[in-house]
Chain A
Amino acid sequence: MNLRAVRAIYAQEMGRFFRTVTQSLVAPVLSTSLYFVVFGAAIGGRIEEVEGVSYGAFIVPGLIMLSVITQGISNASFGIYFPKFVGTIFEVLSAPVSFLEAVLGYVGAAATKSFLIGLIILATSWFFVDLSIAHPVAMLAFLVLTCVSFSLLGFIIGIWAGNFEQLQLVPLLIVTPLVFLGGSFYSVSMLPGIWQTVALFNPVVYLISGFRWSFFGLADVPVGISLLAIAAFTTACLAVVWWIFRTGWRLRR
């Protein structure tokens, strides 16, 4: 195992993050604040409480997930697409670095970045609402798993993408709708009849539900199922990554 290579890739990717640290952090903080203003103030005025939790606090887990998922995907997909695009990937391909080591470096860095952003958003939320975290360990576990699995997904997208449009396509067409409809801003139980059933086909619902459970102890679906869902998703991503590794797909010509 070439751990030094993993460290080198990880450090390089984190370096990119810290070079633009203001951008990297200001954007999520700003958008979170906006969500609070828009959703918290506007809607919160009408829906004061959801299942005994103030609406402002209720949307925090969803907001964190929203950012962590989009950031994980964009960081990881860009992180591997960029070297492919400018050609610097040749160095990783010609170095004694296995695919697993490259994945650890790139996905590890992307997951770390989105994890940091998640924490920052959590901290920002404290300025707006009173928050208590019922199950901190579970909260961190959900957060880390989400960061890792969506960074893996981003990595796969970055390898698959042949141009910038494709790089944006999957997040735009699939992930963003799923995340927005994933119950960030409402409880699934608030949806009218049939839509409750439809929502259950959205994997993000399970994530947000589980994550919300770790804050307030209430969930749309049993927390065990949430855990199972994210484990299954992570496994699926790992399987695809493994397949890419076996075939050298789209990396080596």
Chain B
Amino acid sequence: MAPILSIRDLRKTYDNGFEALKGVSLDIQPGEILALLGPNGAGKTTLISAVCGITRITSGTATVAGHDVQRDWRQARELIGLVPQEISLESFEKVRRTVAFSRGLFGKPRDDAAVERVLRQLSLWDKRDSTAMQLSGGMKRRVLIAKALVHEPRVLFLDEPTAGVDVELRRDMWRVVDELRREGVTIILTTHYIEEAEAIADRVAVISRGRILLVEDKDSLMRRMGRKVLHVALQQPLVAIPADLARFGLALDDGGRRLTYSYDTKAERTGIATLLAALAECGIAVADLDTEASSLEEIFVGLVHGDDAEGEAAP
């Protein structure tokens, strides 16, 4: 399938000479949900702004459904919805009017039913006649989403949609994303919450210092990295790992009081039962057991950390 969004060697140098994007290439398939992860200042917002026409592109291309965002900007932008990171709304404008305004900006005929639909979808219908000023921060964010959705975009950019949002609203947001996914909307979302990416994304891209470090299917990423660790706390410290236990590849730490065993969660047999039996055979008494999963978070931190170290070595 042809990608709906295709970014090729995109570079952005700001007026002050700072290079925020250093050649980003990325393909996104129709209907896909991509989570763009990266530390503060990585270039997430810059990337989104470049595609959406808010910043000028220094070099490289981006196309939306085959329309170049610079050459065929009108056709490209008609397909895009954007929820910005910063909440910016006209304070004195009523919710219903500001949403209708967005629809007009995108050249769609006035359609009160469409406005009502999106307001209901975002649980804003009760607030339709409130002004932005009268809304809480979370509600304002919903208004921004309503504004981005009301012209029925095929590609939706959500720049940190759940920053500073309570748990309930975050779940709500995930539900909306799920509904949109079923409608076939392609979503690119940036977030600092790894569990959010784990919960809703199909693919994960990690960006740091203006470069994409990794793009991978979330499940395969989890599988690749999906190792679990079993910590076995011992009643008596060990000096060395007994030869009988060598096949388990254990590590001994905490002054000989803890054995660490890593295993693949997806494997048929984890080997935990065998390990425990072997420990009993060697007469090693177990005080406690504890498991730990490696999460996207660790993968992410590992990647970005590596990148930072490299950046420092060769700035």
Interface residues of A (CB under 8 A from B): 2, 4-5, 7-9, 11-12, 15-16, 19, 83, 86-88, 90-98, 248, 252-253
Contact = CB atoms under 8 A, between A and B. Distances in A.
A94 B108 contact: no
A91 B105 contact: yes
B15 A253 contact: yes
Contact of B93 (A12, A87, A90): A12
A120 to B, nearest CB: 23
B55 interface: yes
A98 to B, nearest CB: 8
A81 to B, nearest CB: 14
A78 B256 CA distance: 71
Interface in B72-103: 73-75, 77-78, 80, 82, 84, 86, 88-93, 97, 100-103
B84 A252 contact: no
A154 B270 CA distance: 72
B52 interface: yes
Interface of B: 14-15, 49, 52-56, 73-75, 77-78, 80, 82, 84, 86, 88-93, 97, 100-109, 147
A53 B109 CA distance: 53
Contacts of B74: 2, 96, 98
B101 A95 contact: no
Contact of A88 (B56, B90, B100): B90
B101 A8 contact: yes
A106 B78 CA distance: 21
Contacts, number: 81
B233 to A, nearest CB: 53
Given A2-B74, A93-B53, A94-B52, 10 more contacts: A4-B104, A5-B105, A9-B105, A11-B101, A12-B93, A19-B92, A86-B88, A87-B88, A88-B90, A91-B147
Given A87-B88, A92-B105, A95-B106, A15 B56 contact: no
B107 A87 contact: no
Contacts of A91: 102, 105, 147
B54 A94 contact: yes
Contacts of B55: 252-253
B93 A5 contact: no
B91 to A, nearest CB: 8
Nearest to A105: B105
7 smallest CB-CB distances across A and B, nearest first, come from: A8-B104, A87-B88, A95-B105, A94-B52, A96-B77, A96-B74, A2-B107
A19 B107 CA distance: 25
Contacts of B75: 96
Given A5-B106, A96-B77, A87 B97 contact: no
Interface centre among A11, A94, A248 (most CB of B within 10 A): A94
